[in-house]
């Protein structure tokens, strides 16, 4: 399908795949189904998370929203409602700061995080799905998993010297 031009909540025009509009409408319907109101901040957060991949901290998301739309507390509350309905996935990279991304469901993935600069890359492969099936066969319900991989990116290795001297193990 061809992409169309759309304005995301950051106020900039983006070429947006038509599936993004479908994802937004499905997410709004899921909120309505469980009795959540469709507020402007919730809609703007969903638009941002769908248009831009993330993951983003609450503060980063707040900065991406139109100025004056809501305060940071509203962002946190809205993220809580979106996470409760499984529309948003919370990522924990072990640094005490949660990050959030749109939960596409069918595109399950993991991240690799640089220990030096904090850059995040998506890994579009998951080897833990087989483990989840095994655990379900053992009788467990509501089975999920998280897996984040940490290392030092090529750019940071180059900044420290070609041999990686001084890098933590």
pLDDT in tens, 7-24: 444 444 333 455 678 889
Alpha-carbon distance of 22 to 25, in angstroms, equals 5
Quote the pLDDT of residue 161: 62
Which of these, 41, 129, 54, lies nearest to 90 by C-alpha position? 54
124 pLDDT tier (thresholds 50, 70, 90): confident
Q: What is the pTM of this model?
A: 0.69
Helix (H) or strand (E) holding 4: strand 4-7
Taking alpha carbons only, the member of 108, 111, 13, 10 closest to residue 55 is 111
Supply the pLDDT for residue 3: 38
> Are 21 and 66 within 8 A, CB to CB?
no
The H-assigned helical ranges of the chain are: 18-33, 40-51, 58-64, 72-84, 129-137, 154-159
pLDDT bucket at 166, cuts 50 / 70 / 90: low
Per-residue pLDDT tens for 49-106? 998 877 999 999 999 999 999 999 999 999 999 999 889 988 888 888 999 989 876 6
Hey, what are 104's tokens? 């596409």
List the single range of 16-25, 73-82, 118-127, 148-157 with lowest mean pLDDT: 16-25
Domains observed in the chain? 1-105 (1.10.10.10), 108-169 (3.30.1490.190)
Residue 34's contacts (CB-CB under 8 Å, 6 or more residues apart) are 85
* Predicted pLDDT of residue 107: 65
Q: Higher-confidence residue: 141 or 161?
A: 141
pLDDT at residue 5 in the model: 39
C-alpha span between 147 and 77 (Å, rounded):
25
Residue 136 CA, chain-centre distance (Å), reads 26
């Amino acid at each position: 399908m061809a992409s169309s031009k759309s304005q995301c909540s950051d106020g900039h025009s983006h070429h947006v795949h038509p599936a993004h509009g479908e994802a937004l409408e499905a997410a709004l319907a899921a909120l309505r189904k469980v009795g959540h109101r469709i507020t402007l901040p919730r809609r703007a957060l969903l638009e941002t998370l769908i248009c831009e991949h993330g993951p983003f901290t609450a503060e980063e998301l707040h900065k991406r929203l139109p100025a004056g739309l809501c305060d940071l507390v509203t962002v946190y509350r809205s993220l809580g409602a979106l996470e409760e309905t499984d529309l948003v996935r919370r990522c924990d990279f072990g640094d005490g700061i949660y990050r959030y991304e749109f939960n596409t469901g069918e595109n399950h993935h993991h991240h690799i995080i640089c220990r030096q600069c904090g850059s995040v890359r998506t890994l579009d492969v998951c080897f833990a799905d087989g483990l989840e099936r095994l655990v379900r066969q053992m009788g467990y319900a509501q089975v999920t998993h998280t897996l984040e991989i940490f290392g030092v990116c090529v750019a940071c290795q180059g900044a420290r010297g070609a041999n990686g001297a001084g890098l933590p193990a």
